[in-house]
Amino acid sequence: MTEVTAPKSSVTAAQFADEIRNELKYTQGVTIEQAKPADVYVATATAVRKHLMDSWMKTQQDMVNGDTKAVGYLSAEFLMGRQLRNALLNGGLTEQFEEAVKDLGFDPQEVIDAEYEPGLGNGGLGRLAACFIDSLASLGVPAFGYGIQYRYGIFRQEFDEDGKQIERPDYWLTNEDPWGHIDYERDQRVNFGGEVVEEDGKKVWKPAWSVRAIPVDYMVPGYESGRVNTLRLWQARSYDEFDLLTFNKSDYLDAVKPKVKAENISKILYPEDSTQEGKELRLEQQYFFASASLHDAIRVFYGNEENPDLTTFPNKICFQLNDTHPVIGIPELMRILMDEYGYDWDTAWDITTKTFNYTCHTLLPEALEVWPVSLIAKLLPRHMEIINKINDQFMKELESLTDDEAKAERMRIVTAGENPVVRMAYLATYAGSHVNGVAELHSQLLKDVTLRDFSDLYPAKFTNVTNGVTPRRFMKLANPGLSDLITEGLGTDKWLEDLELLKNLEPLAQDDEFVKKFAKVKYDNKVRFADFAKKEYGFELDANTMFDTMIKRLHEYKRQALKILEVIATYADIKSGKVKVDDLQPRTVIFGAKAAPGYYLAKMTIQLINNVAKVINNDPDVMGKLKVVFPWNYNIRVAQMLIPATELDEQISQAGKEASGTSNMKFALNGALTVGTLDGANVEIRNLVGAENFFLFGMDVDQVEKMYADGYEPAKYYEADPRLKAAIDMVAGGTFSNGDRNAYAPLVSDWLTKDWFMTLADFTAYHDIQAEIDTLYGDQLEWNRKAIINVANSGYFSSDRSIEDYLERVWMTGPLK
């Protein structure tokens, strides 16, 4: 094998300019005079792909010919963000690009901005998948990302004049997608419906309809590794372009129905996050990509061998199930092995259990997917038989493992009774080799609560892998100012591959000169975001105020309500004269959040925040010292601008509800201080950066549990804290709805009578910590010292470290030799 070297490209800017010119002419057919920035973007992307091509092909060859087990990351979501800058960085072409494009007469940023962000994910889970495939490639581990190329990604969010969220379709493929390569020759047939019959004592599935799965391949270049992996996203197409039979019998519209039905499968990303929709189309999507991906992996490793020895399959590749969305892949692999390759049940089971591992991303019971047996039986009759048999085998196994019948009954994969369902998390836990949570606290709670029965009987399956984020995108690309300063401080840029090196920055927190440089970088990032926000949203932001940010999906458990109630209470203090506006540190409170289209209270919270912003921002009594802004359509691009500009990061979920969080890691690495509860990865961040450099408040998991047990009465807290009362009264009294007292009645009533996530109970503690934050912010040198200490101690949160943990604890493999 030849040496694999890092692709620090030796191409010159002039050569790169020629390559771009060539693509413009020979691929796109436009002259340089005719070219628009979008043309140059496509040409550049095409040129970069060619630079990566040799490494891509070699990585695939080494993977197939070598004996290093590969990883298949099965995920319904990959929230990649824009690709060009990342590909340039990893291709070693950034500087050449800047110069070449300028020489061609274009503004590099305009070329970058011509790329439409692919929003093929909802939030943290999808972005984690994107960080993980970046790290896999950067570590040189052979891997595939497998998912769906949705035609419509997460909706584009707008606000109407009442501040309500409007969802618009995200047709991200309106322009050319130069990154995705459609490979018609590597398609797969995916079958649905029909029935199972017995032929010669064998079960034979006679499907009713099928869909053609066509792979669209994206290169995943590693940073400085010389490796390029593949993200393979499936597109659904119809086999019958046009059903002639129907056409002859009836009419034109009916004749295209099968085509429409087939292509619907990859049409749209479900905008649900941490809740499950339970729709038939979603199960179709899940099976569609799981089935196509498993068949694809067999094709990759065994070619078209007539009788491949699939007992070696678990040595070739292991699959990570990113939450329960691909879990239908478990009975599918059983079916493939038995029905397509003739293995007996026990052999198939042995192969299958060695192949799959499962990551759980939630603690919310409503997020644990279940599918009605009736639905699976209709859509995938053979799979339902297999799942039933897995359940029978499991119940037998339990008989020998425990005498506790109630416990065995609780653990059923297929529930008993009238409307039985399949619990996908249980299926994955039983059939997978390993189960992991995504932060230490989360993994502990999985063992103690959510999957307790399973961890009692199968303790060895359970492990933790704390999430991470890629420093390439979220530091180097998002925050070039800080990246340069870190490189200067450390005297090397090796930290981008070994993030624990950041630790060596810690002494510099005591060096006033360095602290001032750090403060300057933060200030410049704030100005950069203010300029962006002015252009993009028309907001006027003052970079001399504290940037206090809360970005994440809008969910009751995440408690955006807590933040906005504290803002309202402060506003009420100012209005009533209890607090002089000059006694507060000036703040800009920034929200970014999408709500699931059907999530009523979440959407109402968005509306409330927008209208609080309208009132406060226009009130002369506040004099711009407290400002609330809500940039709509929060996405990866906005995150990359906003995180480096943020000074205070809000991670204020109810303890025991946020599995991990990943923006918390991005913020700490970019020098924001966190205000947060003891939840998810906050716990680990606080342990690493030190309690004195983290603003902790609120109840912990045990206190929350006790409060549920004792009976929680939110109204008591409303009565007990006059600031809280004033804030809720303002909302109820119509201050933010032009006097309409009904506008937010459902929200107010929920707070006072239910408040499931105990926002009111944590309110006073939240205010107290905000007062401390205000004081510390007055001492800028101290504040920035703490921010630097946060950066220095957050190297653990590189997704490279997460992947190394997976390699060691779950996948038992490593880099290509």
Nearer to ligand GPU, 368 or 731 (CB): 368
**Candidate segments 386-394, 526-534, 559-567, 658-666, binder of ligand GPU by CB under 6 A:** 658-666
H or E, element range at 550? strand 546-551
Residues 698 and 803 sit within 8 Å (Cβ to Cβ) = no
Nearer to ligand GPU, 362 or 794 (CB): 362
Q: Minimum CB separation from ligand GPU for residue 201, in Å?
A: 42
- Per-residue binding string, ligand GPU, 335-364, x by CB under 6 A, is --------------------------xx--
Q: Which residues of 69-105 are buried (b: 16+ CB within 10 A; e: fewer)?
A: bbbbbbbbbbbbbbbbbbbbbbbbbbebbbbbbeebe
Residue whose token pair is 């499968």: 265
Alpha helices, H only, 1-79: 13-22, 37-65
**Candidate segments 491-499, 503-511, 587-595, 654-662, binder of ligand GPU by CB under 6 A:** 654-662
Nearer to ligand GPU, 219 or 659 (CB): 659
| Residue with nearest beta carbon to ligand GPU | 124
Nearer to ligand GPU, 367 or 616 (CB): 367
Say whether residue 659 binds ligand GPU (CB under 6 A).
yes
Residues 96 and 18 sit within 8 Å (Cβ to Cβ) = no
Q: Provide the CB-side half-sphere exposure for 804 (13 A, CA).
A: 12
Task: Determine how β-strand 156-159 pairs with β-strand 317-322.
Answer: unpaired
Q: Minimum CB separation from ligand GPU for residue 96, in Å?
A: 35
Residue 689, classed as helix, strand or coil, is: helix
Angle value at C-alpha 769, between 361 and 793, nearest 5 degrees: 55
Nearer to ligand GPU, 79 or 482 (CB): 79
Which segments within 730-804 are labelled E, that is strand?
none
H or E, element range at 181? strand 181-182
Say whether residue 635 binds ligand GPU (CB under 6 A).
no
Partners of residue 158 on adjacent β-strands:
166
Residue 182, classed as helix, strand or coil, is: strand
Residues 478 and 399 sit within 8 Å (Cβ to Cβ) = no
Task: Output DSSP code: residue 175.
Answer: S
Say whether residue 323 binds ligand GPU (CB under 6 A).
yes
Say whether residue 147 binds ligand GPU (CB under 6 A).
no
Nearer to ligand GPU, 125 or 327 (CB): 125
Tell me the DSSP string of 375-386.
HHHHH-HHHHHH
Q: Minimum CB separation from ligand GPU for residue 351, in Å?
A: 28
**Candidate segments 94-102, 568-576, 653-661, 803-811, binder of ligand GPU by CB under 6 A:** 653-661
Task: Please report, as a single letter, which amino acid is at residue 187.
Answer: D
Residue 786, classed as helix, strand or coil, is: helix
Reported residue count of the chain is: 817
Nearest-angstrom CA–CA distance, 661 and 693: 19
Q: How many other C-beta atoms can be found within 10 angstroms of the C-beta atom of residue 407? A: 15
Nearest-angstrom CA–CA distance, 254 and 330: 35
Instruction: Return the residue of 153, 661, 676, 714 that touches ligand GPU, per CB under 6 A.
Output: 661
Instruction: Return the residue of 210, 229, 266, 274 that touches ligand GPU, per CB under 6 A.
Output: 274
Nearer to ligand GPU, 155 or 717 (CB): 155
Q: Minimum CB separation from ligand GPU for residue 286, in Å?
A: 13
Instruction: Return the residue of 367, 465, 509, 596 that touches ligand GPU, per CB under 6 A.
Output: 367
Nearer to ligand GPU, 7 or 145 (CB): 145
Instruction: Return the residue of 660, 737, 784, 790 that touches ligand GPU, per CB under 6 A.
Output: 660
Q: Minimum CB separation from ligand GPU for residue 123, in Å?
A: 4
Say whether residue 651 binds ligand GPU (CB under 6 A).
no
Nearer to ligand GPU, 363 or 787 (CB): 363
Nearer to ligand GPU, 660 or 770 (CB): 660
Residues 551 and 649 sit within 8 Å (Cβ to Cβ) = no
**Candidate segments 477-485, 522-530, 657-665, 780-788, binder of ligand GPU by CB under 6 A:** 657-665
Say whether residue 333 binds ligand GPU (CB under 6 A).
no
Q: Minimum CB separation from ligand GPU for residue 77, in Å?
A: 8
Say whether residue 658 binds ligand GPU (CB under 6 A).
yes
Helix-then-strand count for the chain, H and E = 34, 22
Rounded to a whole number, what is the largest CA-CA distance in the chain? 87
Instruction: Return the residue of 157, 285, 293, 467 that touches ligand GPU, per CB under 6 A.
Output: 467
Q: Minimum CB separation from ligand GPU for residue 599, in Å?
A: 13
Task: Please report, as a single letter, which amino acid is at residue 166.
Answer: I
Q: Minimum CB separation from ligand GPU for residue 273, in Å?
A: 5
Helix 424-431 and helix 381-401, axial crossing angle in degrees, nearest 10: 60
Q: Minimum CB separation from ligand GPU for residue 128, in Å?
A: 4
Q: Minimum CB separation from ligand GPU for residue 276, in Å?
A: 8
Instruction: Return the residue of 71, 133, 294, 438 that touches ligand GPU, per CB under 6 A.
Output: 438
Nearest-angstrom CA–CA distance, 470 and 665: 10
H or E, element range at 512? helix 512-537
Binding footprint of ligand GPU, residue count (CB under 6 A): 19
Residues 207-246 that bind ligand GPU (CB under 6 A): none
Say whether residue 662 binds ligand GPU (CB under 6 A).
yes
Q: How many other C-beta atoms can be found within 10 angstroms of the C-beta atom of residue 57? A: 11
Say whether residue 55 binds ligand GPU (CB under 6 A).
no
Q: Minimum CB separation from ligand GPU for residue 117, in Å?
A: 17
Q: Which residues are catalytic?
A: 361, 552-553, 558, 662, 666
Residues 109-128 that bind ligand GPU (CB under 6 A): 122-125, 128
Q: Provide the CB-side half-sphere exposure for 64 (13 A, CA).
A: 13
Nearer to ligand GPU, 56 or 146 (CB): 146
Task: Determine how β-strand 209-221 pairs with β-strand 181-182.
Answer: antiparallel
Q: Which residues bind to ligand GPU, rule: CB under 6 A?
A: 122-125, 128, 273-274, 323, 361-362, 367, 438, 467, 658-662, 680
